[in-house]
A and B are shown apart, each in its own frame.
Chain A
Amino acid sequence: MSAADYSIGTAGARLRDGTLTAVALVEAHLERIRTRDPRYHAFVTVTAERALEDAARADQELGEGVDRGPLHGIPIGLKDLIDTADIRTTSGSRLFAAHVPARDAAVAERLRAAGAVLVGKLMTYEFALVGPSFDLPFPASRNPWNTEHITGGSSSGSAAAVAGGLLRTSIGTDTGGSIRSPASYCGVVGLKPTYDRVSRDGIFPLSPSLDHVGPISASVAEAALTLDAIGEGCNAAARLAEGIEGRRIAYARAWFANDPATSPAVIAAMDGAASALSLQGARIEEVSLPDYHLFEAAGAVIIQAEALAVHAELLRSRGDEYGVLARRNLLSGLSLGADDVALARRAADELARRIEAEIFGRFDALVTVNTLTPALPFSAFDGETSVWTHMRTLPFNLTRNPVLALPIGFAAGLPLGMQVVGRLGDEAGICAIGQAFENATDHAVQRPPLRSDIDLQPA
C-alpha cells in the first residue's frame, strides 16, 4: 500500500509514532501525480521542490515536539483561484497565466500555519465561471472514474485529484455548486461551509455574495479535519462520532424525483441513502420545498450581475484574452439592470426565509440530491456553447446553509451524490450525519479503476 492511500488520520498517527516521515508521504503523493496526472489533468502547477522543503520542516518540528495539529505534514492542493505567495495563480485563465501573487490568501495562510504541505495548484474552470473549455492554456480535468467524462466544476482539479488518489484533501470554492457538483461527479466528499465561515480574502471572486470556500476530501473525517483548519470555530472533527439516533431529517424527494431530467438510477440511489440514514436511527420525513426554478432564477441573475461587475475592467482592457465560454457567459450579464438585481435579491431573501422557517424550524437537517445525472461525456461539449448540467446545489448558496456532499452509489460506473444541508453554522451536525452514513455504507471506500500499464508500475 502506498503512503498516498493513508487517510489523514492514519498518516498523522504514523508521522507521530515515527513509522512515516512527511518527506516520504509527500514523495508518495508526488509519485502519484507524476504517474496519474497526465491522464487526469488535475494540477495546473506542482510545487514539488517547495513541498519537500516544507515536509522536511514538518518532520523537524514534529521531531522536536512542535505539533501544529492534524494537518501537520499532510499534503494538500488549492484550487488555482486561491492566491499563493510566490507561486503562480492562474484562475484558469490566459489573462493570469503568468500571475504570481505577492501574498497568500487567508485560507493558504491558515493551512500553512496548520503545517499542511502545499503540493500544487488545481485546475478550475476559467475564473470559476463555466466549462469545460478547450481553448485555455491548461487542459480540462478528466474524471478518474472514466476519463471520457467531465469532472464537473468549477473546482474540477480539486475533485479529480482526490478521486484519482493524488491527494487526500484539497480546497475548492462554491458559488452555485462548484465544490458539490464535482464532488458528486467524482465520487468524493465536498463540504460547502456556512457563508463566510472560511475567509474569501485573497481568492478571485466570482459572485462575492454567493462565494463559499471549503474542502473536497476522500472521506467525511478528512473533510472535517480540513474545515477545522481553515474555518473559524467549526470543531467538526470532534463531533463525528455523535451518531444520528433520533435526528430529524427532511427528505426533499419531489424536488428532483418529479424532474424528467433526473436519472432513474439517481432516484433509486437517493431512496437507498435515505433508507440507510433511517436504519441508523434518523427520523426521515418527506417534505416539499419552494419551486427549485425560483432559486435558480434568482441565483443566476445575482451571479451574472456580480460577475460582470468583477470583470468589467478586464473585459474593457483585455477582453480578447478570455476563453470563448467565459467571455460569452460574462457578456450575457450586460442585459441586467439594477432593478433586476434588486428583484433577484428580494426573491433570494424570501426563499432563504422560507427554508429557514419551514425546514430548519422543524428539522435538524435536509437531504436531497446533488446532481440529477452522472457526469456527462466530453462529447456533449463543444467548447463554444454552454451545456446545462442539472443539479440542485445553487439554492444553498442563496440560503448560505452548510452542505455536505456525499457519494451514494454508481450508474454505468460513474458516481452519484447526495447533499446533506445543515442549519446555519452547523457544519459539525452534517458531518456527524455524513460519518454515520459513511459507516453504514461502502461508498467512501470505492476507488476508480486503475490502468495496469500506468498505475501498477513499481514506485
Chain B
Amino acid sequence: MPDTPSSADLAEAARKQRIAIAPAELPAVLAGARWLAGCLALLRKSDLLR
C-alpha cells in the first residue's frame, strides 16, 4: 500500500481478502486508512528505530 492510499488501492486490498466495500462507505474507510498511513509515516520518520 502506498504512503497515501487511494480508493483503488483499498478496493484492491478488499478484493484480495474477498471482503466487500460499498461505494457509500469508501470515503470513511479511506479516511481511516489514510490516518493509519500517517501513523506509519510518523514511525518511519522518528529516530525511534535508528
Contacts and interface: CB of A to CB of B under 8 A. Distances in A.
Given A294-B43, A386-B32, A335 B5 contact: yes
Chain A interface helix/strand/loop/mixed: helix
Q: Which of A290, A332, A340, A343 has the most CB of B within 10 A?
A: A332
B43 A332 contact: no
Contacts of A336: 1, 36
Contacts of B25: 324, 327-328, 331
Interface residues on A, range: 35 or more
Contacts of A98: none
A335 B43 contact: no
Given A332-B36, A385-B28, A294 B10 contact: no
A351 B13 CA distance: 30
Interface stretch (A147-155, A170-178, A226-234, A311-319): A311-319
Interface in A39-86: none
A333 interface: yes
A346 interface: yes
B40 to A, nearest CB: 5
Q: Which of A297, A344, A346 has the most CB of B within 10 A?
A: A297
A294 B40 contact: no
A335 B9 contact: yes
Interface in A118-172: none
Chain B interface helix/strand/loop/mixed: helix
A294 B39 CA distance: 8
A331 B42 contact: no
B8 interface: no
Q: Which of B14, B28, B39 has the most CB of A within 10 A?
A: B39
B19 A319 contact: yes
Interface in B9-50: 9-10, 13-14, 17-21, 25, 28-29, 31-33, 35-40, 42-44, 46, 48-49
Contact of A293 (B37, B42, B49): B42
Nearest to A308: B17
A301 B40 contact: yes
A338 B21 CA distance: 21
Interface of B: 1, 5, 9-10, 13-14, 17-21, 25, 28-29, 31-33, 35-40, 42-44, 46, 48-49
Given A340-B1, A347-B46, A386-B32, 4 more contacts: A294-B43, A319-B20, A327-B25, A347-B43
